Structure formats: C-alpha cells, structure tokens
Structure 1
C-alpha cells in the first residue's frame, strides 16, 4: 500500500473503500476496494475530502483490512451463526437460531489485547434470537501484518470464540408449595407466572402438583416427577428461613446435589439450584419471582433450558450487576441486570 495524490492516481487500484456521507441521506462506499481509478473518478474523490489516497502495491508480509477481517470472522464463528458482508474491514456475526450465547472470554481478551484489531460482543450467558447481532469485528488499520493475524489464530486455537447453545425441549414438572394454596385459602398466583416465563422459550409444564408445607410430601412429589421422566422440576415458594418454609429441606431429601442455596442477586437471594443424578435440575424459587418483573430466575432459566450445567462459582460472580433497579419501564435484557465483570 502506498500513498499518492488523488490527481495522480488514475490507473491505480484502490486498496480500501471510500465512504461518502450525506447526513440523513447516505453513508456508504462510493468506491470499493479493488476499483481501478479512472479520470472521471478524480472529482468525486476530491468531493469526499480525499486529496490523497492509498493505492495497492504488492507486499507479501501484509494483509488488506478485508482479508484480515475474514481471519477474525473465522476465529469467532461457531455453529448456528453467519457473517455479514465484509465492508471496510468489518464483519458482523448474526445468530441463526434461538439460544444462549456463550463466549470464550479468555480468547476474546487475548485477541483484543493484540492491538490493531477488535471484537465487540453482546453479553454472554444471555438469550439471543435468530437474526440478532452477536458481535462486530474490525481491523483498525487499512493493512495489517500477516504475522499478527497468525498470532490471533494461535491464541484462539481449540475452538471458536462464540457459540450458541440452542434450547432443548424439556419435560418440566412444577411443584407449587404452601398450605394456604393447598387448602385453597388463597388462589395460586405463582404457577401462571412460571408458565408464562417458560412460554417465552417455547416450553410448557408437563406435570403440576400443589403441596402443603409438609416437606415429606414435597419430597415425594418431586421424586414422583423425576421418576416419571421430568427433565427439570421447579418448586415455587417455601424458600425463606421461616419455620414453615421447608422446600430447601424437601429438595435436599430427594438426594439431589445442592449447587447453591442463596445467591448475590436481588430480587432472588433465596434461590436454590440442585441437580438430581448429576444432570436434571431441581429449582427452588423464592416468592419474589411471583411479583417482581425480573429476578434471578430470568438469569438462570434460559441457561437451564439450553442444557447448561451451572456451577456454584458462576452464582458467586453475579454480585456485580446482580441488583435489579426495578425501573419504571423494564428494558431487560437490554440493561445491566446480571451483567457483571469477569
């Protein structure tokens, strides 16, 4: 690549897109990379402020921005996503299916630390829908050393930076607890909320039982659902430290392994997650899920429906970003709730 005066560029090959910006009308390339500059192009180039331009000269040690962008795309792209057309050294990744976005954060940091290239992504561990943008990549200079792009490949060996875990249809059991509901003293208002949240991901409740606060009864119902082949059991209510709230004990007595009872998230501090036989989630939901717009359940549910096994340390890390501000107009997931550092 070499710099030359625009008036002297006739016959030269343009090595980058030339963008024309007319506010409110257009922002697009008036000439594309590879265009052979003609005499009639000179006034147009001057009109967009290009008194000097870069034209191509062979250099085996360098890559053009668009060629380098293709390298970035390949190290980013997992299954169920595609790239946009390369333009001015930029490629965007677009989801091909609904699911949970996973990011190899170490690789993402490693590439962005190399300099002269960048990858900007939406938050990982959150839902994406088919057609939505996942990430944008760009090469900063017009040309970049081939050696630097080889280093980008090396630091991302072993798999792509981005992947999408698609949702898996699950048979879900719902256990509503509380003697006041069991004895019909009050109406069950918890179950409709859970069914509505499941419907957001195309899921339905396959079995539903209402139990009193008798922990032995709750345990028996959970076990019956698991024996009937439920892939996940959700228990609502009875999660506080009150003497009558026995759901945590009931879940423990099923033999399920408790991952966490309590999480640094508000609303949702009394949340419980366990796994039965190492793979089927048993969830205990605190009462806030019934009345708060968004809670820890919204952070965890999509990951469980995608078949992901969540570790205890991932709950500990939710403290930063774990406070929902209960905004008058909820914009979740386009807000800071559940989006901590790493």
Structure 2
C-alpha cells in the first residue's frame, strides 16, 4: 500500500486518510476519490490530499476484517457487516463468552496492522451483546500477512458463546439460633435474581438445622428433582471437615474444591454427586453484588467445566468489589 500526499489531479481512486469538509462538500476518512469528487475538490482550491492506494497483493480493510471475523466466529456468535476496516462479533444467545486466548494472542502478534479485541473470558452476555471486534488499522493488509493471521487461528473458531441452560436448582438453607427468617428470604431472592437472566430457576427450597445429619436428610429430599444444588450455611465453612462438606460426603458427594482465590468468595465449596454439581455458597453469596459464587454458578449454568484447576486460575482478576455488609470486611471500620 502506498500512503502519502497525493496531488489532487492524480487523486482518482485514492482512499482518503482524513475527512475533508469544504464548500458544502463532506468526504469521510476511507472515501474513495471519484472524478467528480476530485473535480469539486480542485474547484474548492484543494491542491493535495493525504491518501492511500492499494497495490497488487493488498486486501482492502473491509475484506480483510470480514475474512478474519468469519474465521473467528464460533458457536452462538455472528459477524456484523464490515465498516472502516472493522467487524464486530455479537452474541446470539445469553451465556458465557468463551475465547481461545492463545489463538487470539497469535493473531495479534502477526503485525500491528491486524488486531482482535474481546471481552474478558467467561463474561456473561445477553443475546445481541458485542463480544469481540476485529480492526484492520491501515486501509489494507498484505494478502500474505492476512493468510498468516488466518493460519495462526487454527481450524477451530476462537470466539464463541456457551448458552445458559434452564437448569432446576434446589436450595438448602441451614439454620442456627439468631439467624433471622428475613436473611434467608433475602438470600433466596438474590439467588433467583441471579438465575433470572439464565433461564434457570429455583425449584425447591428446604431449611434445616445446621448439623450434618439434618443437612444430609435435606439433601436427599431436594436432590431427585434438581439439576444442581446450592447450600447456604448459617455459618461459613471453615474446613473440609466442617458441617456442610461432611454432610455432602455422607450423601455420597465428592469435594472438588474448598476455597477459591476470589474475594469476596474465598470460602466457596464445590462438590459433585453423580455428575450433579453441589455448591456450598460463601456468605457473600447472600449479597446481590458480584462475587466468586457468581463465577462458579455461571459456568455450571452454561455447561462450562469448572474444576480445581479452573478455580485456581481465577486469582488474577479475582479481587472484586468489597461487600461492605459482610461480617469481616477486608479493612476494619474505624
């Protein structure tokens, strides 16, 4: 691609690098100088324009962006029409945005002319939300460079959405003297609000004493008709041998992970029984504010694997907004 100042009498077919507004004529960056436009510019006293000309082997910005976006777009995403070297990718379902970071990093390493930007991985999105954008920085990309970028992506799409599933969620709340009914009610409302955008719903709720035997019995009552179980403890889990994990293991469940490098949310417990997930919710899950509970729950609802290794990887970015109402905030109030 040639780029620079072009005498106006030689500008036919050139691509304007900057907008031009003069004597009622408005041309935008990226507009092509036609004979009529060139004549009007000359009549207005314009002697030259900053412009680009494509050469053999160049792929125009829109075509290059469209080809790259087409390769990037995976399940439940769509590409919009290209404009000014940009193509946006949108979700076609409510779910979690998923990205092949290594593939996208390889594309962005090819050349500064080719860029791909995305939302953070595992960000919940709604149908119609933008999840990624492709931008060709100059007015074209060499065909060989574009092919290198396409090859760098590999055969699998690097941008997709895992749709939320309308799971049936059963809830058990354990009780201790002094725990108000209003706290349990507020917790259930917060969970229902979390589930609302996903299509999942609370199908059963049982309250029981905060001891392993009572919780074991409660789990047996709610489990048969549920796809996932959530336990809200009257007291936070402090050890793998505490009441909630002990009851889950007695129920035949397997503890996958206790504790996560996300704050608020450190004291989350993740377990499973026969492939059915069980979450021992941290105390912060009673709040509607984002916390580690959201990150695990959303993955379960979207059918995205979440195991010990996945939770270990949540530490960078895992320091979330403080929830002032929780019993032990990060900084004591003076």
In which range does the TM-score fall when normalised by the shorter chain? 0.7 to 0.9
1:233–1:46: structure 2 CA closer, same or farther, 3 Å change rule? farther
Match of 1:270 among 267, 278, 291: 267
SS of alignment partner, residue 241 of structure 1: coil
Aligned residue in 1 for 2:218? 221
Q: Does 1:163 align with 2:164?
A: no
* Bigger mean CA offset, 260-269 vs 99-108: 260-269
Match of 1:51 among 49, 58, 62: 49
Q: How does 1:1-342 map to 2 (within 5 A)?
A: 1-2=1-2, 5-9=6-10, 12-14=12-14, 16=15, 19-20=18-19, 29=28, 32-33=31-32, 36-38=34-36, 39-43=38-42, 51-57=49-55, 59=56, 61-115=57-111, 116-180=113-177, 188-189=184-185, 190-226=187-223, 228-237=224-233, 238-241=235-238, 246-278=243-275, 280-291=276-287, 293-326=289-322
**CA distance in structure 2 between the aligned counterparts of 1:148 and 1:243, rounded to whole angstroms:** 54
**CA distance in structure 2 between the aligned counterparts of 1:262 and 1:250, rounded to whole angstroms:** 17
Answer whether contact 1:181 1:188 (CA < 8 A) is retained: no
SS of alignment partner, residue 258 of structure 1: strand
SS of alignment partner, residue 311 of structure 2: helix
TM-score (norm 1): 0.81
1:215: Cα distance to partner?
A: 0.9
**CA distance in structure 1 between the aligned counterparts of 2:165 and 2:143, rounded to whole angstroms:** 41
The runs of 5 or more residues in structure 1 that have no matched partner are: 329-342
1:111: Cα distance to partner?
A: 0.5
1:181–1:174: structure 2 CA closer, same or farther, 3 Å change rule? farther
SS of alignment partner, residue 197 of structure 1: helix
RMSD: 3.0
Answer whether contact 2:165 2:198 (CA < 8 A) is retained: no
1:32: Cα distance to partner?
A: 3.1
1:299-320 Cα offsets, whole Å, 9 max, x none, are: 2222211112202122112222
**CA distance in structure 2 between the aligned counterparts of 1:284 and 1:235, rounded to whole angstroms:** 5
1:325: Cα distance to partner?
A: 3.2
SS of alignment partner, residue 98 of structure 2: strand
Answer whether contact 2:216 2:247 (CA < 8 A) is retained: yes
The runs of 5 or more residues in structure 2 that have no matched partner are: 325-334
How many aligned positions are there?
Answer: 315
Instruction: Please identify runs of 4+ aligned residues in structure 1 that moved more than 6 A.
Output: 44-47
1:327–1:172: structure 2 CA closer, same or farther, 3 Å change rule? closer
Aligned residue in 1 for 2:332? none
Answer whether contact 2:17 2:50 (CA < 8 A) is retained: no
SS of alignment partner, residue 318 of structure 1: coil
Aligned residue in 2 for 1:332? none
TM-score (norm 2): 0.83
1:296: Cα distance to partner?
A: 0.8
Aligned residue in 1 for 2:328? none
Answer whether contact 2:16 2:49 (CA < 8 A) is retained: no
**CA distance in structure 1 between the aligned counterparts of 2:266 and 2:239, rounded to whole angstroms:** 15
1:120–1:43: structure 2 CA closer, same or farther, 3 Å change rule? farther
1:18: Cα distance to partner?
A: 5.2
1:101: Cα distance to partner?
A: 0.2
1:46: Cα distance to partner?
A: 7.5
1:70–1:292: structure 2 CA closer, same or farther, 3 Å change rule? closer
1:44–1:125: structure 2 CA closer, same or farther, 3 Å change rule? farther
1:50–1:88: structure 2 CA closer, same or farther, 3 Å change rule? farther
